[in-house]
Amino acid sequence: MKELIILAMTHTTQDFVVADDAGFAAQLTKFASENTILSGLGFSSSDITAASDDAKYMTFCVKLQVDSQTYALGTTKYKNLARHGNGTEVLDAATTFPTETAPALVPADIEARFRTNAAKAKSASAYTASKGETLQIVPVSTPFNPSLGKPTFKIFMDSGHPVIKWVKGAFDAVEIWVDKGTGYVKEERAISSPYLDSSALPAIGTSAVWKYKMIYVMNNKTVGNWSDEATITVYGAV
């Protein structure tokens, strides 16, 4: 069989705005923190304050979503325990939803304002490519080396089943491996994201921790590095 040879190439992200919500919040925070650069590009103190308010509120929204998902998983387990029991496990008082003080409320469409701010910065006479990189408002160009690829993914629940969403990038597919208590086995070679794991759930009233990892596929061969492991708790259902 002819040996597979993959040449390095340049891959450029077309849109400078980070698609991932947490990454976008971090991008907003970095932009708003560069006071000196922004001032030199014509941003007033009120402009910078507004950008900072957007960053704080987006960060708050991301944390609120994560907390609510974690709370939902916990309350589902609590409800199942309350109804069906689980051996000798004790039913303690229910946990209340975590709360924190919200930052100053901002208008909707934070991303649109960020794009407007980026366009304003780029149109300033003092703008340079270096400043754009510091503000994180330009696409990032990096050499594409498949052997360095490492998938990143998230897991969430849909109708009680894990759904895995990953970043495909320039690769052809990913191999998804899962450990449901007896060691890792290959679950699927998936060519598009997301992937729904429709495997049978645990018995009613019980739960289990499933572990996932994945590796990229290119030209019908696995390539690069294994992703970090991620876990999720699944619960028995009818």
pLDDT per residue over 15-40, tens digit each? 899 989 999 999 999 999 999 999 99
Residues 6 or more apart whose CB falls under 8 angstroms from that of 55 comprise 25, 28, 29, 31, 32
With 70 as the cut, is the pLDDT of residue 142 above it?
no
In whole angstroms, what is the distance from residue 40 CA to residue 58 CA?
Answer: 25
**Residue 5 pLDDT level (bands cut at 50, 70, 90):** very low
Rounded Cα distance between 84 and 182, Å, is 26
The confidence score (pLDDT) of residue 13 equals 45
For residue 3, the model assigns a pLDDT of 32
State both tokens at 182: 């007896």
Tell me which of 83, 105, 138 is where a domain ends.
138
Q: Which contiguous run of DSSP H or E holds residue 151? A: none
Report yes or no on 36 lying in a domain.
yes
Torsion from C-alpha of 197, 202, 205, 206, nearest 10 degrees? -100
Contact indicator for 219, 4 with CB cutoff of 8 Å: yes
Calculate Rg over the CA atoms of the chain: 23
- 227 three-state secondary structure: coil
More confident site: 87 or 117: 117
Do 123 and 162 lie in one domain? The reply is: no
pLDDT class for 141, splitting at 50, 70, 90? low
Domain count, the chain: 2
Does residue 10 form part of some domain?
no
pLDDT value at position 222? 97
- pTM, two decimals, is 0.55
Only one residue has tokens 């970090």, namely 228
State the chain's mean pLDDT as an integer: 89
Give the pLDDT mean for 171-199: 95
Asked whether residue 61 is domain-assigned, the answer is yes
41: Cβ–Cβ under 8 A, 6 or more apart, which residues? 120, 121, 124, 126, 127, 131
Q: Are residues 230 and 151 in the same domain?
A: yes
Look up the domain containing 55 and give its range.
17-138
Q: What are phi and psi of 107, to 5 degrees?
A: -65, 160
Residue 134 CA to residue 113 CA, distance in Å, equals 18
Q: Are 125 and 22 part of one and the same domain?
A: yes
Predicted confidence (pLDDT) per residue in 106-130, tens digit = 999 999 999 999 999 999 999 999 9
Cβ neighbours for 75, distance < 8 A, ≥ 6 positions apart: 94, 95
Cis bond upstream, residue 162 (ω within 30): no
124 and 189 in a common domain: no
